[in-house]
Amino acid sequence: MQEVILFYNGLGIPTRHILDSRGAIPSKTIADAKVAIQEMAEYSQKWHNGTSRSGSTETSDRLVAIQAQLNNL
Q: Where are the domains of the chain?
A: 2-72
Count, residues in the chain: 73
pTM over 0.75: no
**Using N-to-C axis directions, what is the helix angle for 2-9 and 30-49, rounded to 10°?**
40
Show the DSSP H helices in 1-73 as ranges: 2-9, 13-19, 30-49, 54-72
pLDDT digits (tens, 9 = 90+) for 11-34: 889 888 888 888 888 889 988 988
